[in-house]
Chains A and B, each alone.
Chain A
Amino acid sequence: MYDKKIIIPILAVIVVVLTYPIWSLFGKGAAAPELDLNTPEIQALAEKECIEDTEFMRSNHMELLNEWRIKSVREGTNVYVASDGQEYEMSLQNTCLSCHSNKENFCDSCHSYAEVNPDCWDCHVGGEL
């Protein structure tokens, strides 16, 4: 091989950069966070279920909250009818956080794991008032 002195160092650098996630993680665990559903409010519930099913909430809660935000702030409607017909108040503070009162162990655990920075908390306090 010609020009080994140039090609091999450049290749080495590129391979190190490409495999950066592998060696940055070396020896460290990478388990996904477990959602903490153990709040006094949830424990007190007779039926432990969210307004929609878990799978939907996991992937679509941000869409739902966005819809709530537009409806309640701009259009003045305040009632969310869930797919099972039950009605809820469209409020992050009064509906979501009334059960999930543990923002640090619920919202933040996934958000900081997946590096998502929603701007909910620019205005909302989170947790108990």
Chain B
Amino acid sequence: MGVGFSLLMIVLLVLIPFLGVYAGLEYVLGVVFPYLAFSIFIIGILYRIICWGRSPVPFRIPTTCGQQKSHDWIKADPVENPTTAFGVILRMVKELFFFRSLFRNNKVKITEKGHIAYIWEKWLWLAAILFHWSFFIIIIRHLRLFTPKTPWLVSFFERMDGFFGFGMYSFYFTDLLVVIGLAYLLIRRLVIPMVRYVSLAADYFVLFLIMGIAFSGILMKYFVRADVAGVKELAMSLVAFKPVVPVDIGSIFYIHLFLVCALLAYFPFSKLMHGPGLLLSPTRNMANTNRMKRHINPWNYPVKVHTYEEYEEEFGKVMQAAGLPLDKQS
């Protein structure tokens, strides 16, 4: 159900620009949609992050996996169980760039003797790393279409990535890696029964959408050529806010662009917010200082208190008359 629905949606998303080019709607596809999608992307992400920032987290809830700092003679793990801001930053860097907690992934199995065994399982981590880093490098590479003078970092990535190109064939290694990563992430959902059971249309849709972007890009790069100078002209005019639509770039380009627009516009509403959300996860971004420091509930309001001293002052005489013991012997 989820798979079919997502595939149908992707087919529709491909058909829209394909028919749009026939209908002569290049301006809408090349200018209106990109601006709209990028605005939704930026505003949507800012809105979601501000919403998260407004939710109070009154208690320290880091999930830790190292020895907590206690006695001097017990060796603590300052990164996996951080007590300082620096430790939290190091932990976050590991998480953000190397997917530390996904690396902990393992498989549980009950052996024939009835014992529990935890089995080494790093394939999901590997596929995730391959996919995310390749996608990141591909995005960086695309900057050459948006800048008048390509920054050295972009050229550097491009040269490294194109290392396996030979003769006049250009070949970007990340194009292959991103497809391998995505393929694993999809096959895993389809093949492993437990993962398939928890997979919904939203999971498949994003995978198919990014696959659509990758395939249309690969197709455009290696097989159905589009006019690169025209593409750059359009991209630069969008960036300069003086949109010009060059003629005859080719419908493959508009399919690629429209799928990217769909991804950008969908991003803030989807599970893809796991990226920005990682930085705002209370289980990851808090130092484990539950008892080391005093943490005051942020929504505490001033409570009117009536201490025992005041009580005794008020009712002291009555209490004395009734023969009750008093703190203050007057």
Contact = CB atoms under 8 A, between A and B. Distances in A.
B167 A114 contact: no
A45 interface: no
A114 B147 contact: no
B62 interface: no
A120 B170 CA distance: 13
Contact of B53 (A4, A21, A66, A110): A4
A21 B246 contact: no
Nearest to B228: A114
Nearest to B146: A21
Nearest to B169: A66
B250 interface: yes
B248 A55 contact: yes
Interface residues of B, number: 42
The interface residues of chain A, by DSSP majority, are classed as: helix
A48 interface: no
Nearest to B85: A6
A71 interface: no
A105 to B, nearest CB: 14
Chain A interface residue number, banded:
35 or more
Interface string A84-118: 00000000000000000000000000100111101
Contact of B168 (A4, A20, A118): A118
Given A65-B168, A115-B144, A2 B233 contact: no
A30 interface: yes
Given A25-B148, A25-B240, A115-B150, A32 B230 contact: yes
Contact of A11 (B46, B168, B229): B46
A10 B240 contact: no
B54 to A, nearest CB: 5
Contact of A110 (B229, B240, B298): B229
Nearest to B250: A59
Contacts of A1: 50, 53-54
A87 B193 CA distance: 61
Interface string B56-75: 11000000000000000000
Given A11-B46, A113-B232, A114-B228, A30 B155 contact: no
Contacts of A31: 233
Given A4-B53, A66-B167, A30 B148 contact: yes
Contacts of B50: 1
Contacts of A110: 228-229
Contacts of B145: 114
B232 A32 contact: yes
A34 B50 CA distance: 46
Contacts of B32: none
Contacts of B227: 55, 58-59
A49 interface: no
A103 B174 CA distance: 32
B108 interface: no
Interface of A: 1-4, 7, 10-11, 15, 18, 20-22, 24-25, 28-33, 55, 58-60, 62-63, 65-66, 69, 110, 113-116, 118-120
